[in-house]
Structure 1
């Protein structure tokens, strides 16, 4: 892990800068950038602090150029404030095993765009999105259609048939009856002794992502689309941005050379981002049942655990030694495609 600054926006227009190792011995100058290609960044602060805040009134997605005596680099927010969505994030900034970093503003992952408000869509329109990879099933898409960001965005539906990980795909009821239908199904399974631990089901799903035919076809198509020079900026998403998207994001970052500890860290940001959403979801469930065992089972549907994605990574590494070898041998991704992805999405 590098000791570069990270930036977040805990309050509107209030940007918090922090270093993983909170020791600062040299001066740093921070410049505001309107875009990643801004050739005239504006100096906003010089400081020796390892943690500080800046209040900047902006109506665009800002980037920040960080300069010290030894280096200069650009950073951006990881989780973006898209109104109506809770898990829209930039996959940029992660270090690779060979000392490079993933470019900001090129690769995004998110929950479904269905919930974006008009203001949220206005924000998304400023990100230069050209491609959407939608992992949802036809049923999910019909029930929760994405609004149009702009007419230039191309959407690819690549269903990995991983429906065990999502409520809507498991229990096909109307939106209004979805929660009640799910609870009734759990109670019925409890009565007849067929209820299984959902966390175990999800864990097994992550293990089989790597070898299930439909999953391999879906994620191979995703990688080929990501490798197209005209594709960026790209958003990949499912419903909650956790399971199918978590696996797809892991493959992209893994092919780029991001190490396992960073892949796990990226995955676990979903848990943090979904805390409020999960609390609201559980409050809704409690209005329909007070059975603690049913509530525990319901929470297992929306929980995010590092062992889920780790099961996929370990299954790949144990059998193929690397994610790059896996996508070549099992997904039919050529070395040329891999090299193109690295050229498109990595910087020194």
Structure 2
């Protein structure tokens, strides 16, 4: 079933994602713990380059396959190393850059790069600059080192006060920002049912956090990451706003959003809660109920029974109240048209 879900998403996410038409549908797949396979389609032979620098050029990257005609190359990667491939059409000189979408953390959940997506002006989102994630309270030491190797300029935690106390991040050595609010503001009265009501509130509720993130993006100081607990709802909304600002098509944004169902690892998002010690903590008990429900151990599709993506309700609310995402970003987040142009210059290639 998982393959039936993920393959259409891959087709959508990578359709037309090469930086030129001759190198089409580049994709990186982890085929073993220390092995990556890059695939592509091209009628011409392709030179395959490899680097740990997301901005590498053929002149600075390592050539791993010359005049490759079979559309696939497998390489061994040291543990914890982030790899970026450059594919160069030998006839046209056209380039495509691609990397593994999700970081293969041992005890992490849903930590992934949002680079590579088609965006404004026929360009693509740069790899290695914007990361989305679930909570990081149970990362292994190796995971912490792998995240530190990304050289993040900032980490913005979208979680509530209570979540940050119950499950503090293990990412050390990275500047850290958060905006305080209570989980009860998200939960309302009782346990919320994920869907339209939750997402319709996000443009207002997440505005302070969005302001922080766009301040970081506008400052262009380097790579950033942001997270909530599952890395799918609050993080999904924020990602939708960032990708919209960069001119990524709405259907691609929704497809990226649904990847959380594949890449979440709920067992690493929250420490085991002691229900006796936390009996008087309503937020801890709220998460404890989820931990006691076997069904929650498996990520659930983020859509209504009719197939409507939950994230679509946030977009609909923005369109209704502000007229467009651009208007929302300008009026509520302080991202002007001049800012949008600068963001696209800095985060697209």
Normalised to the residue count of structure 1, the TM-score between the two structures is: 0.76
Which of 217, 227, 238 is 1:248 aligned to? 238
Choose from 85, 94, 99 the match for 1:64.
85
**Change over 3 Å in CA distance of 1:24–1:148 after alignment to 2:** closer
- 1:162 and 1:91 map into 2 onto residues whose CA distance is 27
Aligned-partner Cα distance in 2 for 1:251–1:4:
25
Correspondences of 1:172-211 after superposition (within 5 Å): 198-199=193-194, 202-210=195-203
Which is helix-richer, 1 or 2? Answer: 1
Work out the CA distance in 2 between the residues paired with 1:37 and 1:260.
26
Which residue in 2 is equivalent to 1:345? 347
How is 1:1-348 mapped onto 2 (pairs within 5 angstroms)? 1-2=15-16, 3-19=24-40, 24-38=42-56, 39-45=59-65, 46-50=67-71, 52-59=72-79, 60-68=81-89, 69-70=91-92, 71-150=94-173, 153-159=174-180, 198-199=193-194, 202-210=195-203, 212=204, 214-230=205-221, 232-274=222-264, 277=266, 299=296, 303-306=300-303, 307-347=309-349
- Structure 2: unaligned runs, 5 residues or longer: 1-14, 17-23, 274-291, 304-308
User: Per-residue deviation at 1:163?
Assistant: 5.5
> How far did 1:206 drift?
0.6
Structure 1, unaligned runs of 5 or more: 172-193, 285-293
CA separation of 1:277/1:239 partners in 2, compared to 1, >3 Å: closer, same or farther? Answer: closer
C-alpha distance in 2 between matches for 1:29 and 1:10: 21
Give the Cα separation in 2 of the matches to 1:65 and 1:163: 46
Distance in 1 of aligned mates of 2:250 and 2:199: 16
Post-superposition offset of 1:196: 7.8
Quickly say closer, same or farther: Cα 1:162–1:72, change in 2 above 3 A: farther
SS at match of 1:86: coil
RMSD of the TM alignment (CA)? 3.0
The Cα offsets for residues 168-226 of structure 1, whole Å up to 9 and x where unpaired, read as xx59xxxxxxxxxxxxxxxxxxxxxx988723xx321111212x3x4323322322222
CA distance in 1 between counterparts of 2:83 and 2:30 reads 11
Q: How many corresponding residue pairs?
A: 297
User: Does the CA-based 8 Å contact 1:8-1:79 persist in structure 2?
Assistant: no
